[in-house]
Amino acid sequence: MNTMLNQTNKTTDPYFIDFPKRIKSIQEMMQGRGIDVYLGSRLRTISWTVDVFCPWRSYIVIPKKGLPTVFTFLIDATRIGHDSWLDEEHVLGYGPVGGQDQITILSNKILEYLNKGKGKVGIESGMSNYLPEGNLTHYEYDKLAEALPDVELVNAHDIVDELSMIKDKGTMNRFREASRIVDIGHQVVYEAINGGGWKGMTETEIAGLAAYAMRKAGSEFEWSFTAGNEIASGYRTGLAQGACTPASRKKLKAGEPLMVDLHAMFKLGLGDHTHNYLLSPATERQKWHAQNFVALVKLVLKAYGPGATPSSLADKMLEFAEDHDFIEFVVPGCEHGIGMMGDEWRIGMNDGPFEYWTNPDHVYQAGEMVICAMQYACPEENIGFRYENPIIITDRGCEPLSKFPLRIEEI
Amino acid sequence: MAGTVKYMSPEWRDEAEKRLKSELTPEKMKHITTSMCCIYQNCPDGKQRYYFVKTENGSLVEVSIGDQEPPKAEFILTADYETFAKLTRGELSGRAALMGRKLTLNGNLIKALKLSTVADRMNKVLSAIPTEY
DSSP states of chain B: --S-EETTSHHHHHHHHHHHHHH--TTTTTT--EEEEEEEES-TTS--EEEEEEEETTEEEEEEEESSSPPP-SEEEEEEHHHHHHHHHTSS-HHHHHHTTSSEEES-HHHHHHTHHHHHHHHHHHHTS-EE-
Q: What pLDDT, on a 0 to 100 scale, did the predictor assign at position A7?
A: 57
CATH number of residue A192's parent domain? 3.90.230.10
Query: In this structure, are A80 and A204 located in the same domain?
Result: no
Query: In this structure, are A340 and A267 located in the same domain?
Result: yes
Supply the pTM of this predicted model. 0.93
Query: In this structure, are A198 and A143 located in the same domain?
Result: no
Mean pLDDT of B22-47: 96
Distance from CA of B41 to the nearest CA of A (A): 15
Kindly report, residue by residue over B78-102, the tens digit of the pLDDT.
Answer: 999 999 999 999 899 888 999 999 9
Over chain A (411 residues), what is each successive 10-residue block's mean pLDDT?
54 92 98 98 98 98 98 97 95 96 98 97 97 97 98 98 98 98 98 97 98 98 96 97 96 98 98 98 98 98 97 95 96 94 95 95 97 97 98 98 97 95
Query: In this structure, are A111 and A181 located in the same domain?
Result: no
Instruction: Quote the CA–CA distance of B23 and A182 in Å, as a whole number.
Output: 61
Query: In this structure, are A266 and A402 located in the same domain?
Result: yes
For residue A36, tell me if it sits in a domain.
Answer: yes
Q: Where are chain B's structural domains?
A: 5-126
Angle at CA of residue A126, ends A124 and A130, nearest 5°? 105
Q: Does the distance separating the beta carbons of A78 and B98 come in below 8 Å? A: no
Query: In this structure, are A220 and A134 located in the same domain?
Result: no
Q: What pLDDT, on a 0 to 100 scale, did the predictor assign at position A294?
A: 98
For chain A, what is the domain count?
2
Q: Nearest by CB to B104, which of A94, A95, A98?
A: A98
Chain A residues closer than 8 Å to B101 by CB: 98
Q: Does B99 touch chain A (CB under 8 A)?
A: yes
Query: In this structure, are A54 and A193 located in the same domain?
Result: no
For residue A267, tell me if it sits in a domain.
Answer: yes
Residue ending a domain, among A111, A137, A163, is A163
Q: Nearest by CB to B110, which of A93, A98, A99?
A: A93
Q: What pLDDT, on a 0 to 100 scale, did the predictor assign at position A2?
A: 43
Residue ending a domain, among A106, A135, A163, is A163
Query: In this structure, are A182 and A264 located in the same domain?
Result: yes
Q: Does B101 touch chain A (CB under 8 A)?
A: yes
Distance from CA of B11 to the nearest CA of A (A): 30
For residue A10, tell me if it sits in a domain.
Answer: no
Q: Does the distance separating the beta carbons of A89 and B110 come in below 8 Å? A: no
Q: What pLDDT, on a 0 to 100 scale, did the predictor assign at position A5?
A: 57
Query: In this structure, are A237 and A174 located in the same domain?
Result: yes
Q: Residue A312: helix, strand or coil by DSSP?
A: helix
Domain that holds residue A29: 19-163
Query: In this structure, are A143 and A176 located in the same domain?
Result: no
Which architecture characterizes domain B5-126 according to CATH? Answer: 2-Layer Sandwich (3.30)
Query: In this structure, are A187 and A156 located in the same domain?
Result: no
Residue ending a domain, among A113, A132, A163, is A163
For residue A68, tell me if it sits in a domain.
Answer: yes
Query: In this structure, are A216 and A333 located in the same domain?
Result: yes
CATH number of residue A55's parent domain? 3.40.350.10
